[in-house]
Structure 1
Amino acid sequence: MLTLARKQTIPRYLLFFCILAVLSVFLLWPIYLTVQGGFLTPEGEFTTKYLQSVFEDPLWMAGLGNSLMIAAATTVLCLILTMPMAVLAAKYDFRGKAAMTSLLLIPLILPPFVGAIGLRALLGRFGAVNALLLELGILEHGQPGIDFLGGGEGGRFWGVVVMEALHLYPIIYLNITAALANLDPALDEAALGLGAGKIRRF
């Protein structure tokens, strides 16, 4: 007869293999097909001509350059947004800290299009920022509002960067918070005892 411990272990293994099967079908298999299609000809021979064609086509290179610039700008903006909040959450205790942390993680569960609609309502030509500028007298009545998201290539670029940063910053926030929380407090106390200031200890 199976012992109680083994009876409890079997469902765990079944769950593990079910999850592994789902990941294999919906994640690993598509990745394999993508890599296979990029380096194999229809006849099954290995080739790099598909990869070379990317670097030979100006349109593809422009897209690759835009992707790299968006990734770099998004990362920098995420760091600017999350670093102060992560330090505040990891180093200090205050009322409402748990609520603040929960609110900061909301973008993880929101669909991206919700943020896009909100950003459009905020920074679009008829958005809240233009309404505020109109109330302050910076814009005149009848004057077209400023389209912060569509005013040329720069506007579209930064619109995408802001949207990506607002959607992805919780990931960097969680990583920085975890890294700061795992630091030994004794190191900070030792640095303080040696006369190091707040910036240097950080």
Structure 2
Amino acid sequence: MPTPENHSKKRLILGSTSPYRRELLARLGIAFDVERPEVDETPQPGEKPAALAMRLALAKAREVARHHPEAVVIGSDQVADLDGEPLGKPGNHERAVDQLRRMSGQTVVFQTAVAVVCLSSGFEQSDLAAVQVAFRTLTEAEIEHYLRTEQPYDCAGSAKSEGLGIALLERIENDDPTALVGLPLIRTCRMIRAAGVPIL
């Protein structure tokens, strides 16, 4: 039989099937479930990368919360911003090669949005972490070797900074160190605490 303390804890759901976000949230040592949000991620005409990331993070959290109104739901989305153009997940080798060629020698802003929603309490907050990433000037051989080795086809911008992708970069500038991996945990912790989920 659950104790009154356990019974009062809100259920936490990660509205994402990303293994990267799941691993990051697991670092907090709190129980959570995972559910796939059914959200169309197609950018709207003229939509800027930051606006796209925020819209999708909120849409994912709201969609899962609709099925679990008592739960606290986290939604997140990341869009690579190359001079105002959104770059999403490449999905295959050819598109990943194209993305890395275009980002070579450039500074790309990875816009990582997080939203927390609880319908029963009316709680809804969202925030955006913008991470500036300076890419080295990459050779064709480096691009090919990296992609064949790591196959980051499910990552916005085709680069995994937590793995070999760090070798593609000159520098990273951010205020939330996990944001580039896919879930800004400092912001996430702040919002789920405010929604009634204790962490410490």
Same fold by TM-score, threshold 0.5 exceeded? no
- TM bucket, shorter chain: under 0.3
Relative to the length of structure 1, the TM-score reads 0.24
Structure richer in strand, relative to its length: 2
Larger Rg: 1
Name the structure where helix makes up a greater proportion of residues.
1
TM-score by length of 2: 0.24
